[in-house]
Chains A and B, each alone.
Chain A
Amino acid sequence: MDKMPGWADAVLVPLISLLLAAILSALVIIGIGEDPVAAFKLMVDGALMRSSGWGYTLYYATNFIFTGLAVAVAFHARLFNIGGEGQAMIGGLGVALACLYIPWPNWYVALAGATVSAAIFGALWALIPAYLQAKRGSHIVITTIMFNFIAAALLNYVLVNLLRPQGAMDPATARFPEATQLPTFQDMFSTAETAMFRGAPANVTFFLAIAMCFVVWLLIWRTKLGYEIRAFGHSESAAKYAGISPVKITIVAMLISGGLAGMMALNTTMGEAERLVMNATEGAGFIGIAVALMGRSHPLGVLLAALLFGFLYQGGAELALWTNIPRELIVVIQALVILFTGALDNMVRMPLEKLFLASRRKA
Chain B
Amino acid sequence: MTLMTKLYGAAAALAMTAGAAVAEPALIFDLGGKFDKSFNEAAFNGAVRWAEETGESFREIELQSEAQREQALRRFAENGNNPIVMTGFAFGNVLSEVAPDYPDTKFAIIDMVVDSPNVRSVVFNEHEGSYLVGMMAAMASESGTVGFIGGMDIPLIRKFACGYAQGVKAVNPDATVVSNMTGTTPAAWNDPVKGSELTKAQISQGADVVYAAAGGTGVGVLQTAADENILSIGVDSNQNYLHPGQVLTSMMKRVDNAVYDAMKAGTDLETGINVMGIANGGIGYALDEHNESLVSAEMKAAVDEASAKIASGELAVHDYMSDDSCPALSF
Question: Once the chains bind, are B154 and A169 in contact (CB under 8 Å)?
Answer: yes
Contacts of B185 in A (CB 8 A): 156, 160, 171, 278
Closest to B28 in A: A321
Cα A59 to Cα B1 with chains together (Å): 18
Given A49-B5, A322-B16, A323-B16, the answer on whether A169 and B67 have CB atoms closer than 8 Å is: no
Asked if A231 is at the interface (CB within 8 A of a chain B CB), the reply is no
**Centre residue among B61, B75, B76, B101 by max chain A CB count within 10 A:** B75
Looking at chain B's contact residues, is the secondary structure mostly helix, strand, loop, or mixed? helix
Asked if B90 is at the interface (CB within 8 A of a chain A CB), the reply is yes
Question: Once the chains bind, are B9 and A45 in contact (CB under 8 Å)?
Answer: yes
Closest to B92 in A: A170
Asked if A277 is at the interface (CB within 8 A of a chain B CB), the reply is yes
Among candidates B6, B70, B92, B154, residue contacting A199 with C-beta atoms closer than 8 Å:
B70
Asked if B89 is at the interface (CB within 8 A of a chain A CB), the reply is yes
Closest to A273 in B: B66
Min distance, Cβ B4 to any Cβ of chain A, angstroms: 11
Question: Once the chains bind, are B64 and A170 in contact (CB under 8 Å)?
Answer: no
Min distance, Cβ A272 to any Cβ of chain B, angstroms: 6
Min distance, Cβ A203 to any Cβ of chain B, angstroms: 12
Contacts of A22 in B (CB 8 A): none
**Centre residue among A160, A272, A323 by max chain B CB count within 10 A:** A160
Contacts of A354 in B (CB 8 A): none
Looking at chain A's contact residues, is the secondary structure mostly helix, strand, loop, or mixed? helix
**Which chain B residues (85-114) contact chain A, with CB distance < 8 Å?**
89-90, 92-93, 98, 101
Min distance, Cβ A174 to any Cβ of chain B, angstroms: 11
Q: Count of B residues near A, CB < 8 Å?
A: 37
Asked if A320 is at the interface (CB within 8 A of a chain B CB), the reply is yes
Contacts of B92 in A (CB 8 A): 170
Asked if A263 is at the interface (CB within 8 A of a chain B CB), the reply is no
**Centre residue among A38, A175, A318, A321 by max chain B CB count within 10 A:** A321
Contacts of B6 in A (CB 8 A): 50
Question: Once the chains bind, are A41 and B89 in contact (CB under 8 Å)?
Answer: no
Q: Count of A residues near B, CB < 8 Å?
A: 46
Contacts of B61 in A (CB 8 A): 320-321
Contacts of A278 in B (CB 8 A): 185-186
Among candidates B13, B16, B155, residue contacting A169 with C-beta atoms closer than 8 Å:
B155
Cα A45 to Cα B59 with chains together (Å): 19
Among candidates B8, B63, B66, B74, residue contacting A277 with C-beta atoms closer than 8 Å:
B66
Question: Once the chains bind, are B17 and A322 in contact (CB under 8 Å)?
Answer: yes
Asked if A316 is at the interface (CB within 8 A of a chain B CB), the reply is yes
Question: Once the chains bind, are A169 and B89 in contact (CB under 8 Å)?
Answer: yes
**Which chain B residues (191-236) contact chain A, with CB distance < 8 Å?**
none
Asked if B36 is at the interface (CB within 8 A of a chain A CB), the reply is no
Among candidates A59, A194, A326, A330, residue contacting B67 with C-beta atoms closer than 8 Å:
A59
Cα A2 to Cα B154 with chains together (Å): 63
Contacts of B53 in A (CB 8 A): none
Cα A194 to Cα B5 with chains together (Å): 14
**Centre residue among B12, B59, B92, B98 by max chain A CB count within 10 A:** B12
Closest to A59 in B: B67
**Which chain A residues (205-262) contact chain B, with CB distance < 8 Å?**
none
Given A169-B155, A273-B66, A317-B64, the answer on whether A199 and B74 have CB atoms closer than 8 Å is: yes
Min distance, Cβ B248 to any Cβ of chain A, angstroms: 28
Given A327-B64, A330-B64, the answer on whether A169 and B156 have CB atoms closer than 8 Å is: yes
Contacts of A322 in B (CB 8 A): 13, 16-17, 59
Contacts of B115 in A (CB 8 A): none
Asked if B280 is at the interface (CB within 8 A of a chain A CB), the reply is no
Among candidates A42, A198, A272, residue contacting B12 with C-beta atoms closer than 8 Å:
A42
Min distance, Cβ A363 to any Cβ of chain B, angstroms: 46
Between A and B, 9 residue pairs with Cβ closer than 8 Å are: A53-B9, A156-B184, A169-B89, A175-B93, A201-B70, A321-B76, A322-B59, A327-B63, A327-B64
Q: Which residues of B pack against A, CB within 8 Å? A: 1, 5-6, 8-9, 12-13, 16-17, 59, 61-68, 70-72, 74-76, 89-90, 92-93, 98, 101, 154-156, 184-186, 324
Q: Which 7 A-B pairs have the closest CB atoms?
A: A169-B154, A160-B184, A199-B74, A282-B65, A45-B12, A49-B9, A51-B1
Q: Which residues of A pack against B, CB within 8 Å? A: 38, 41-42, 45-46, 49-53, 56, 59-60, 156, 160, 167, 169-171, 175, 194, 196, 198-199, 201, 268, 272-273, 275, 277-280, 282-283, 316-318, 320-323, 326-327, 330-331
Other than the known A41-B12, A170-B93, what 14 A-B pairs have Cβ atoms closer than 8 Å?
A45-B8, A50-B1, A50-B5, A53-B9, A56-B67, A169-B89, A194-B1, A199-B71, A279-B65, A283-B65, A317-B64, A321-B75, A322-B59, A326-B62
